[in-house]
Amino acid sequence: MVAVKGDLMKTTSTYYFVDAEGFLASTLELTDQETAGRADLQQNKPKERTDMGGVRSALMTLEECKAIQWRKVKQARDQAESAGFSWDGSTFDSDPSSQARINGAVTLAMLNPAMMIDWTLADNTKRTLNAADLFAVGIALGAHVNEQHQKARELRDQIAGAQVMEEVTSRVHQLMT
C-alpha cells in the first residue's frame, strides 16, 4: 500500500497479529522507514511470539496468515473426511483404513455379484450388505470425500484471493465451526 503524506510518498506494509488458533487479533501498518528498524520484520520468516492482552500471538504478513489458514483448512478437511458418512440410514466409518476396506469390498462385489457380507458400522452394529449395497456404499463414500475436498478448494480460492486477512479468517472459522 502507498500512503501519500504532503509531498512525501511512503510505502506501508500491513502485518497481522494472529493468535495460536489462527484468529486475527489485530493489524499493524508500518512504513518502510518504520519496518527498517525492526529486525524481526526484515528477516521474512515467522516473527517472534508476542503476548497481547494475555493471548499468545505472532506477528506475520498476509501471505504467512494465508499459509496458516490453508493448513487449518486442510486439517479440517481431513478430519471431516475421516468422520464417517451415512448411507441408507447407517453410518459408516471413513478413516483411511475404512476407505480401503470399502474399496476392497466393492472390488470383491464386482468379481462376485452374488456375494453377501456382514459389515461393522461406525456404532459397531452389524449390517448385511449385498453387491448392489456395496456399490451404493462405495458411491456414497466417494461423494462424501468429494464434498470435503470441494469445500476445501472453495476456501483455498477465497484464501488466495483475499486482500486483507479479515476476509479469510472470518470465512474459514465460520465454515470450520
- pLDDT for 130-139, tens place per residue? 999 999 999 9
Distance CA 20, CA 136 (A): 42
Does the pTM exceed 0.85?
no
- The beta strand positions in the chain, using DSSP E, are 2-5, 8-19, 24-31, 49-52, 55-60, 85-87, 90-92, 116-120, 126-130
Q: Which three cell numbers stand for residue 15?
A: 502485518
47-95 pLDDT, tens digit per residue, is 444 444 444 556 677 888 888 888 889 999 999 999 999 999 999 999 9
